[in-house]
């Protein structure tokens, strides 16, 4: 694969169980060395997609590739290059983290003992478990177990990490640790993970896809999704008479919608425009014509991923970037 290729690519991928369509016509592209957030409510088809990619179940329609290899014909070779972390990883409780990794790494590597031990040490350091490496796993917290699960999943230098809800059961500090690890791993591999925690996705992901009822309703770079899909919207707050500002804005043919919220000493507005260049040049000047109007905030509206997610899931819209 060259640097610009996609690690995962599907075409019309679908899965049905009798009358239930778990996944419908999925066209998905996961860029190399991206942190790809795979979102959707329960039952959206996320786990089904992961099983299809790993050859653990067969598609009812369409197909796909991982590393350019067919997900049906080449599933064994694909799995040899993938690391996987389930939502609830299980371990032999009496073993230590070091012993667990030593057990796992020998399924993949044979050779000088010193190099195997070095790989174990590198992996423990990567997930910040080097100082806890000789404790029995039964004494580990939830966050430490998840970190060990990631260590186990990537001890073989995988080209793709698939993580199923890696931070679902963690507290805020544990989630931060998990996000930090994912950022470090991005230098070495592609991270494809499912989650319900939208704030984490916004912080760590560079690419996002949203499933709803088995259908892809949005995908693309997260910056593009956060820019919004409903045209250009400006957010502003003023002190003064809202009627003056409302009248000045309403007279412009490039202003398509105005949403107003009253404030004790003025108002806040969301102003939708059809011509971004004209708005950039004239919008603020129009408000400042009246000397009694003071603009306290002004800029392009910044969307939160949660807002976009609920609009798509509840409203049935589709956004492709």
Average pLDDT over residues 9-32: 92
The CA-based angle 319-180-154, given to 5 degrees, is 90
- Which DSSP string corresponds to 74-131? THHHHHHTEEEE-SS----TTSBHHHHHHHHHTTT--S-HHHHHHHHHHHHHHTT-GG
Which pLDDT score is estimated for 1? 44
Q: Please say if the pLDDT value at position 314 is more than 90.
A: no
87 pLDDT tier (thresholds 50, 70, 90)? confident
pLDDT (mean) for 19-26: 90
Share of the chain above pLDDT 90, in %: 55
Q: What does the mean pLDDT of the chain come to?
A: 88
Residue 4: pLDDT over 70: no
Residues in contact with 154: Cβ distance below 8 Å, sequence separation at least 6, in sequence order: 83, 123, 126, 161, 185, 188, 189
- Higher-confidence residue of 196 and 284: namely 284
pLDDT at position 3, please? 41
Chain mean position to CA 166: 12
C-alpha to C-alpha distance for 72 and 160, rounded to whole angstroms: 17
pLDDT tens, position by position, 212-242 = 889 998 888 887 777 655 568 889 999 999 9
Whole-number Å distance between alpha carbons of 231 and 136: 55
Domains within the chain, CATH numbers bracketed: 6-226 (3.40.50.300), 232-301 (3.30.70.260)
Cα-based angle 154, 11, 56 (whole degrees, multiple of 5): 45
CA dihedral 45, 16, 7, 147 (to 10 degrees): 40
- Residue 149 clears pLDDT 60, i.e. is over it: yes
- Reported confidence tier of residue 192, pLDDT bands at 50, 70, 90: very high
Q: Is 173 exposed, middle or buried (0-12, 13-18, 19+ CB in 10 A)?
A: exposed
Does residue 89 surpass a pLDDT of 90? no
- Going by pLDDT thresholds of 50, 70 and 90, the confidence category of residue 2 is very low
Whole-structure pTM value: 0.74
Length of the chain equals: 321
- The single-letter DSSP state of residue 304 is P
Distance CA 320, CA 186 (A): 24
Q: What confidence category does residue 303 fall into, taking pLDDT thresholds of 50, 70 and 90?
A: low
Higher per-residue pLDDT: 317 or 276: 276
pLDDT at 47 over 70: yes
Helices (H), 210-304: 222-226, 242-250, 276-288
C-beta of residue 189 within 8 angstroms of C-beta of residue 159: yes
From the number of C-beta atoms within 10 Å of its C-beta (0-12, 13-18, 19+), residue 58 rates as: exposed
CB-CB contact of 120 with 108 (8 Å): no
Give the highest mean pLDDT range of 38-47, 141-150, 304-313: 141-150
Task: Show the CA angle centred on residue 61, arms to residues 60 and 63, nearest 5°.
Answer: 115
User: Does residue 102 surpass a pLDDT of 90?
Assistant: yes
User: Measured between alpha carbons, how far apart are the two ends of the chain, in Å?
Assistant: 23
Structure tokens at 100: 């667990």
How far apart are alpha carbons 45 and 240 in whole angstroms? 50
Q: The tokens 């040049």 sit on which residue?
A: 281
């Amino acid at each position: 694969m060259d640097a610009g290729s996609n690690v995962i690519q599907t075409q019309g991928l679908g899965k049905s169980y009798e009358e239930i369509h778990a996944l419908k016509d999925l066209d998905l592209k996961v860029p190399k060395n991206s942190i790809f957030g795979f979102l959707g409510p329960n039952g959206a088809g996320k786990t089904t997609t992961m099983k299809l990619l790993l050859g653990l179940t067969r598609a009812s329609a369409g197909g796909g590739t991982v590393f350019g290899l067919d997900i049906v014909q080449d599933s064994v070779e694909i799995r040899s290059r993938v690391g996987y972390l389930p939502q609830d990883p299980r371990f032999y409780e009496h073993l230590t983290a070091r012993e667990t990794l030593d057990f796992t790494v020998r399924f993949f590597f044979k050779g000088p003992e010193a190099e195997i031990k070095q790989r174990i040490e590198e992996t423990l350091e990567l997930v910040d478990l080097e100082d806890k490496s000789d404790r029995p796993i039964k004494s580990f917290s939830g966050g430490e177990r998840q970190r060990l699960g990631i260590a186990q999943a990537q001890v073989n230098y995988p080209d793709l990490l698939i993580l199923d809800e890696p931070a679902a059961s963690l507290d805020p500090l544990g989630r931060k640790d998990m996000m930090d690890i994912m950022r470090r791993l991005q230098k070495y591999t592609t991270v494809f993970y499912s989650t319900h925690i939208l704030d984490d996705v916004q912080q760590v992901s560079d690419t996002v896809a949203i499933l709803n009822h088995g259908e892809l309703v949005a995908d693309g770079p997260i910056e593009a999704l956060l820019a919004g899909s409903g045209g250009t919207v400006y957010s502003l707050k003023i002190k003064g008479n809202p009627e003056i500002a409302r009248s000045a804005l309403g007279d412009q043919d490039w202003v398509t919608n105005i949403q107003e919220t009253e404030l004790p000493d003025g108002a806040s507005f969301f102003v939708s425009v059809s011509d971004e260049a004209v708005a950039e040049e004239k919008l603020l000047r129009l408000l400042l014509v009246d000397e009694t109007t003071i603009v306290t905030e002004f800029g392009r509206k910044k969307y939160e991923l949660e807002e976009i997610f609920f609009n798509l899931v509840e409203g049935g819209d589709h956004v492709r970037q």
